[in-house]
Amino acid sequence: MLERYVENHPQSIKVRFALGRLYREIGLTTAAEETLRKVLDLHPSLDAAHVELGQIYESRGEQDKAMNAYRKAAEKNPYNFLVRQRIARLLIHEGRFEEAMQELQELRRLAPDNTDIAVRIGLLYMELEQWDEAADTFRLLLERFPDSDKARYNLAMALEYGGHEEEALDQYLAIPEESGRRADALVHAAYLHQRQGDIEEALDAAREALRLSDEPRAGLYDYVSTLYDRTGETESALDILDKGLERFPDEADLLFRKAVFLEK
């Protein structure tokens, strides 16, 4: 029906654009591209048509063409929030983090209250190993959303990697038990306690992480066993190894550590 209408109204940009979008949505990308190019011949400044072309190129894995299409859309409409998100995502995917940061900062200028953009900026600062900037970003988020475990966990990681271990430890331990991030937070807390020489606190945190983990990794059993050994609790160390081997019977590190214990 749309095709017939286009034939009867060849200058109708709105209908031709709708047809191009429909072609893209049902997977007829060649027809979609041809139709959208005709739309742009009639209306070169229509940013939505460039976005549609970008999505077609992305679906084909043609990232450079997609980027060019999105850039053209942004040129036509600098306030197109969604297209700038797409540009930033492609840049991150390509490892062009500095350029992605520029796009995200522009997005934050356009939408200062958008929390998703703030999170992306914080995570990108971490990719760039700009720990203080990342911490500042997540700290501001936490001030706005004090119950956000995601913001608190990311803040703690930024602080840890930035060398602010005491504050990082406080943030990890502040994540509540009912949070799905509590177990991972306790593993980080255990490592921080260990680096500070407090093996007992490290052991308590690691044991609690093991208790809370729905699917604990083999390495966590190994770590808890090591901490038990450091405190002289050899029997408990072996018991944890055995529990780990029940779940991971072929795990080389657990088998090796048990063999070492048995030789003592």
Q: Where do runs of H (alpha helix) occur along 61-196?
A: 63-76, 81-93, 97-110, 115-127, 131-144, 149-161, 165-173, 182-195
Amino acid 198 reads D
pLDDT attached to residue 7: 53
Among all chains, which residue has been given the structure tokens 């034939």?
Answer: 7
C-alpha count within 13 angstroms, C-beta hemisphere, residue 180: 2
With beta carbons less than 8 A apart as the criterion, state whether 172 and 146 touch. no
Which pLDDT does position 102 carry in this prediction? 86
Residue type, 245: L
Taking alpha carbons only, the member of 35, 44, 46, 31 closest to residue 10 is 35
Q: Is the pTM of this model over 0.85?
A: no
- CATH number for the domain formed by residue range(s) 113-211: 1.25.40.10
How many CB atoms neighbour CB 102 within 10 A? 14
Looking at residue 213, what DSSP letter applies? Answer: -
Distance in angstroms (rounded) separating the CA atoms of residues 30 and 52? 12
User: CATH number of the domain at 1-100, out of 1.10.3720.10, 1.10.357.10, 3.40.309.10, 1.25.40.10?
Assistant: 1.25.40.10
Q: Residue 164 has what DSSP assignment?
A: -
pLDDT tens digits, residue range 148-205? 999 999 999 999 999 999 999 999 999 999 999 999 999 999 999 999 999 999 999 9
Q: What is the pLDDT of residue 213?
A: 92
| Contact between residue 121 and residue 94 where contact means Cβ atoms under 8 Å apart | no
Residue 256 makes CB contacts below 8 A (sequence gap 6+) with: none
Residue type, 227: L
Confidence of residue 5 (pLDDT cuts 50, 70, 90): very low
Instruction: Report d(CA 261, CA 230) in Å as an integer.
Output: 12
DSSP states of 60-86: HT-HHHHHHHHHHHHHH-TT-HHHHHH
* Cβ contact 180:212 at 8 Å: no
Provide CB contacts within 8 A for 64, sequence distance 6+: none
User: What pLDDT score does 32 carry?
Assistant: 85
Q: 190 with 176: CB under 8 angstroms?
A: no
- At 32-47, the pLDDT tens digits run 888 888 888 888 888 8
Per domain, the residue ranges of the chain are 1-100, 113-211, 215-264
- The single-letter code of the amino acid at 190 is A
- Give the Cα separation of 66 and 29 in Å (integer): 13
Per CATH, 1-100 and 113-211 having the same topology is answered: yes
